[in-house]
Homo-oligomer: A and B are copies of this chain.
Amino acid sequence: MREPISDFYAVIPAGGIGSRLWPLSRADAPKFLHDLTGSGQSLLRDTWDRIEPLAGHDRIAVVTGRAHRAAVEAQLPGIPDRNVFLESEPRESAAAIGLAAAILHRREPDVIIGSFSADHVIRSTRKFEFAVRDAVEVARQGFIVTIGITPTEPAVGFGYIKQGEELDVDGVREASLVERFVEKPDLATAKTYYEDRSYLWNAGMFISRADVLLAELERHQPALHAGLLELAEAWDDRDRRGAVVDRVWPALPKIAIDYAVAEPAAEGGRLAVVPGHFDWDDVGDFASLTKLILNGRKNDLAVLGPSARVLSDAASGILVSQTSRVISLVGVQDIVVVDTPDALLVTTIEHAQRVKGVVESLKLNGRGDVL
């Protein structure tokens, strides 16, 4: 085991609900609090465990909503209070990661930060660690660095990163500039990307010096940058923090870090990518969750939750059970059944992406109580 990286701080934005995993994921039980892999612990805890050898126990910050504070602290017992950054309301990823960058930079001007989603799944921890260590070395050169996953199939559910000019950084096996980002492609395009080999999946991981990230934000999102500095300046003063957060945070621009930082930095030749040769999934919907659980098994039924009460006959797909009911699935193929105490979803793997629409309809129908 190598030592943690001494000037590195990990940031875990734990914000997204995971609407396409409704009714499993909810506002009060977001995706990152669930055990979706059968590991026996939440995705948030898995993320923490994966990062701890790189950053050290006391150098992992979590940015999350006030409502999730107790749940997060229960998942991460012993996390220092100073490493829990609470949002008064969701303001998207640029604000969340930018806040962490601003606070940590104020505490430690030369710090290198790495942000890692709280609800992604990575199993090959060793390869992940290699990639992050390489990314940190590239970040030392003044780049913002992302880790792009080497595709294992022509996926249409992820964005892609086109690798550009190679970078030669001491002790780093592979790194290059990012030529451009591309949004989720159609299947034909995804196939050309997959064949091409110079495209990687965009896994939304960013590693950079905090000052470099803040400079990039200042260049493209000056209002956001100014607000974040004001927040950071007051943050460690318990008497002032609350009032400043209440005033400044809700007025911050809502923008994803991809648009606020990554794309403009790529255009300016300041974004690098280190290929990650490990399995990775953002488990964005029930199709992806099914694949993850079945792990290559075809025509089988993935069961999440106690399975003793399930009676399945010629059924495939996924069953998520959060109740003590007897559940019987008969002759249903590629089905998605999510059984929770107050909501039931029945759909198919094919229609997994439409679940987000259900959530929107329920919102319109005044059923926020089950969201």
Contact check, B339 vs A344: say whether CB atoms are below 8 A apart: yes
Contact check, A351 vs B330: say whether CB atoms are below 8 A apart: yes
Which residue in B311, B330, B331, B358 is a CB contact (below 8 Å) of A328?
B358
Q: Please give the distance in Å from A337's CB to the nearest CB on chain B.
A: 5
Contact check, B357 vs A313: say whether CB atoms are below 8 A apart: yes
Residues from chain B with a CB closer than 8 A to the CB of A344 are 325-328, 337, 339, 344
Contact check, B327 vs A343: say whether CB atoms are below 8 A apart: yes
Contact check, A354 vs B342: say whether CB atoms are below 8 A apart: no
Interface of A is mostly: mixed
Contact check, A348 vs B332: say whether CB atoms are below 8 A apart: yes
Chain B residue, CB-CB nearest to A314? B351
Contact check, B326 vs A346: say whether CB atoms are below 8 A apart: no
Known: A351-B330, A367-B326. A311 touches B342 (CB 8 A): no
Q: Does A370 contact B (CB under 8 A)?
A: yes
Q: Does A295 contact B (CB under 8 A)?
A: no
Residues from chain B with a CB closer than 8 A to the CB of A346 are 315, 327-330, 332, 335, 337, 346
Q: Does A39 contact B (CB under 8 A)?
A: no
12 contacts across the A-B interface (CB closer than 8 A): A311-B358, A313-B357, A313-B361, A314-B351, A325-B344, A326-B367, A327-B343, A328-B345, A328-B347, A330-B348, A331-B354, A344-B344
